[in-house]
């Protein structure tokens, strides 16, 4: 058994692991929360900030930029005084919603067990 495990670990390559690939996209403390908030219509920076007050402004900004760079969300700027910015989930981002749903379901179940 130990030899089989050692062989599996030897053959593991993070660059061809689908879970690692996914975590490189949505990994980060707040990225799943951002996706969840956007799905629920909280598409303005200020609304997202209210939805996760523990996140610093810099962290929220960085994670939004990373999600945009990865094609998960789009950023739309509207002219005006002051200018308004909205974020939206792309079709690629929408494909992550079942994962976010599963995380939410799992989390609720664990929170309810009191363990």
If you search the block for the tokens 């749903």, which residue do you land on?
101
Name the pTM for this structure: 0.80
Q: Is 32 exposed, middle or buried (0-12, 13-18, 19+ CB in 10 A)?
A: middle
Instruction: Please report which confidence band the pLDDT of residue 42 belongs to, taking 50, 70 and 90 as the band edges.
Output: confident
Structure tokens belonging to residue 24: 């490189």
Question: CA-CA distance, 79 to 6, in Å (whole number)?
Answer: 58
Beta bridge partners of 73: 89
Q: Domain residues of the chain, as ranges?
A: 17-113
Q: Which two three-digit tokens encode residue 41?
A: 């219509």
Q: Assess whether pLDDT exceeds 80 at residue 1.
A: no
pLDDT reported for residue 57: 94
Q: What is the CATH number of domain 17-113?
A: 1.10.10.10
């Amino acid at each position: 058994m130990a030899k089989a495990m050692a062989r599996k670990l030897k053959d593991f390559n993070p660059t061809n692991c689908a879970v690692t690939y996914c975590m490189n996209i949505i990994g980060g403390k707040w990225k799943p929360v951002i996706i969840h908030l956007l799905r629920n219509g909280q598409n303005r920076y200020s609304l997202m900030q209210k939805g996760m007050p523990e996140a610093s402004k810099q962290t929220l900004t960085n994670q939004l930029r990373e999600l945009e760079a990865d094609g998960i969300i789009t950023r739309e700027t509207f002219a005006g005084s002051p200018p308004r910015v909205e974020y939206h989930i792309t079709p690629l981002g929408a494909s992550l919603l079942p994962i976010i749903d599963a995380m939410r379901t799992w989390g609720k179940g664990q929170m309810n067990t009191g363990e």
